[in-house]
Structure 1
Amino acid sequence: MTETDAIVALIALFEREGYARIEPPVLQPADVFIDLSGEDIRRRMFVTQDAAGAELCLRPEYTIPVCLHHLHRHGAQPSGYSYGGPVFRMRPGESGEFLQAGLESIGRKDVSAVDAEILALALDGLKQFGGPAPVVKLGDMGLLHALIDALGIAPAAKRRVIRAIVSGQGLVSLSEPDGPGAEEHAGLLAAIEGQAPQAAKAFVEDILSIAGIARVGGRSAGEIAERFLARASNRTGLPDEARQVLERYLTIAGDPDQAAHAVRTLARDSGLDLDGALGLFEARTGFMAARGLDVSAFSFAATFARNLDYYTGFIFEVQDPRRGDGKPVVGGGRYDHLLEHLGADAPIPAVGCSFWLDRLVGRP
């Protein structure tokens, strides 16, 4: 099966399930990816300009373009989309153009049910490629956010905790000193400490504009603001009790039922209310089982977090056990706030996933 054949087969499956195919433009506004994508995508984008000087990029992924398409045509109305085509990212030793296919469900309010549906369709799609049973890894950014909020951690420290976990460094990195340059930037760090990201970004942009600077070292004002926010949050300590609870949470692993039990025990022992996030987690597991998925074979890890800024809830990766590099062949999750950042009047629930066709068809 070629990658083109794989796209045809996957799109046929998704369209039968009500996910209409769309193909967003290859050229996309660069600013939305710079502001909303993770560092892993931002630093690998192909960026250009149009005749008027507006910054554009070759489509580095499909989720944001699909969301922009949805907002322009459907607003908050529920819709399902499928897609397949080239995306563009700089990849050392590999082609910067490669094919992806996937699906996105936008606007449905039956959150746990549609989470389970997306995972089930991802696994159905993988069956078309044959091979052994895939390895399914689950995570939940919603649980992590709920725990941090229940602990009453300040916004700047919360951003730093999440960034440390997503980067794979863990809480040990929160003990590192401010590092070189902290003293000379003390005034700016104090000025933005505790500010919301958008306010800090606007503040840094104003300073750079006054100085006549558009970019520094290839980084935009938004990226520079994030770095200063990280420095500022270094000045905000994490209370010992909160650190102990978070460290215990990050040890939780097992199948979804085992994980839910461990989180409930942690919440009870710590006197925290996590019922809302846990209710969604357990309902999702129930819908997975109702679809015939063997949830006991799935692996949840509290440390599992995807390196994209817009994921806010359920996340997953699927691996082919025949691959030796541990890279996922499918990945996705829930991003309920992304459309609001793109211009929606209020949060719109959304979840989706993408297939890495070069890893499926061209296995090593």
Structure 2
Amino acid sequence: MTETDAIIALIALFEREGYARVEPAVLQPADMFIDLSGEDIRRRMFVTQDASGTELCLRPEYTIPVCLGHLTHHGAQPAGYSYGGPVFRMRAGESGEFLQAGLESIGRVDASAADAEILGLALEGLEQLGQTSYRVKLGDMGLLHALIDALGVAPAAKRRVIRAIVSGQGLASLSEPEGQTQQEHAGLLAAIEGQAPHAAKAFVEDILSIAGIARVGGRSAGEIAERFLARAANRSGLADAARDVLERYLAIAGDPDQAIQAVKNLAKDAGLDLSAAVSAFEERTGFMAARGLDVSAFSFAATFARNLDYYTGFIFEVQDPKRSDGKPIVGGGRYDRLLDHLGATAPIPAVGCSFWLDRIVGRP
């Protein structure tokens, strides 16, 4: 089976389930991806300019363009989409142009059922492609956010904690001493500490613009702003009691039923109210089981997290045990904040997933 055959098979499956095929333009506004995914993605995009000087990029992924198209044509009305085609992203050791397929469910208020449906269709799609051996890894950004909020962690420290978890460095990295460079910029760091990321980034970019600074050492103003945001976050401490609870949470791993029982025990011992996040987790697990998925074979890890601001709940990866690099063959999750960032006038829930076809069927 070729990658093109795989797209045809997957789209047929998704369309039967009510996910209409869409194909966003290959050329997309570059700033849309940078604003939502951070400056790091700029280094992985293929960027050009139009005649007016506006930065454009070859489509690095489908989710953001699909969501933007949904807002334009359907607003807050629920709809499901499928897609399949080339995306363009610099990847170490892999081609910068590769085929992806996937689906997005936007606007459904029955979040737990929608989450289970996306995972179920992801696994059904893999089996249709002949991929019958796989591992499913689950995470929950909703649980992580709920725990950090219940501990009363300040916004800047919260961002720092999540970055430490995503990077794999753990909470030990939060104890690094403040360096001389950070002390030199203490006034600016204090000014942006605690601000929302987008507002703080715009503030730093404005200061650089006023100073007439466009690039320093090859870094753009946006990249410099990102570095200042990271330094501001590093100024924020984490109380010992909160650190202890977070360390215990990050040690939780097992199948979903084992994991959520451990979370309940932690919440009880620490005197924290995590009832809403726990209920959502248990409801989602119930819908997975109702779809006939073998929940006991899935692996939850509290350390599995994503740094993008718009991921709000359930996240997952599917891995091929035959791959030695551990890279996912399917990845997805719930991103309820993304459409807000794209201009929605009210919150719109959404969940979806993407298939890396070159990692599943390879090139013919």
CA displacement 1:295-314 (0-9 Å, x = unmatched) = 00000000011354432210
1:286, 1:347 → 2: CA distance?
25
* Residue equivalent to 2:75: 75
Alpha-carbon distance, 1:362 to partner: 1.6
1:183, 1:12 → 2: CA distance?
58
2:201, 2:219 → 1: CA distance?
13
Alpha-carbon distance, 1:328 to partner: 0.8
* Residue equivalent to 2:52: 52
Corresponding letter in the other structure for 1:246:
L
* Larger mean Cα displacement after TM superposition, 311-320 or 128-137: 128-137
CA contact (8 A) 1:37 1:310 kept: no
What TM-score does the superposition give when structure 1 sets the normalisation length? 0.96
CA contact (8 A) 1:190 1:232 kept: yes
CA contact (8 A) 1:249 1:302 kept: yes
2:199, 2:213 → 1: CA distance?
19
Alpha-carbon distance, 1:228 to partner: 1.4
Percent of aligned pairs sharing the same letter: 85
* Larger mean Cα displacement after TM superposition, 314-323 or 110-119: 314-323
1:151, 1:356 → 2: CA distance?
37
Alpha-carbon distance, 1:219 to partner: 4.3
* Residue equivalent to 1:339: 339
* Residue equivalent to 1:66: 66
2:181 aligned counterpart, secondary structure: coil
* Residue equivalent to 1:290: 290
Unaligned 5+ runs, structure 1: none
1:355, 1:38 → 2: CA distance?
22
**Are the structure 2 counterparts of residues 14 and 313 from structure 1 closer, same or farther at C-alpha, using a change threshold of 3 Å?**
same
* Larger mean Cα displacement after TM superposition, 116-125 or 188-197: 188-197
CA displacement 1:133-185 (0-9 Å, x = unmatched) = 31000000110000000000000000100111111111111011233511221
1:268, 1:78 → 2: CA distance?
37
Unaligned 5+ runs, structure 2: none
**Are the structure 2 counterparts of residues 43 and 155 from structure 1 closer, same or farther at C-alpha, using a change threshold of 3 Å?**
same
2:152 aligned counterpart, secondary structure: coil
CA contact (8 A) 1:107 1:350 kept: yes
Equivalent pairs counted in the alignment come to 363
Alpha-carbon distance, 1:38 to partner: 5.1
CA displacement 1:225-264 (0-9 Å, x = unmatched) = 3321221222221000000000000000000000110001
1:48, 1:216 → 2: CA distance?
21
1:78, 1:261 → 2: CA distance?
33
1:59, 1:163 → 2: CA distance?
26
* Larger mean Cα displacement after TM superposition, 31-40 or 152-161: 31-40
2:44 aligned counterpart, secondary structure: coil
1:196, 1:225 → 2: CA distance?
13
**Are the structure 2 counterparts of residues 29 and 116 from structure 1 closer, same or farther at C-alpha, using a change threshold of 3 Å?**
same
Corresponding letter in the other structure for 1:200:
A
2:283 aligned counterpart, secondary structure: helix
Alpha-carbon distance, 1:358 to partner: 0.1
1:94 aligned counterpart, secondary structure: coil
Alpha-carbon distance, 1:6 to partner: 0.2
1:115 aligned counterpart, secondary structure: helix
Corresponding letter in the other structure for 1:294:
D
Corresponding letter in the other structure for 2:293:
L
Corresponding letter in the other structure for 1:173:
S
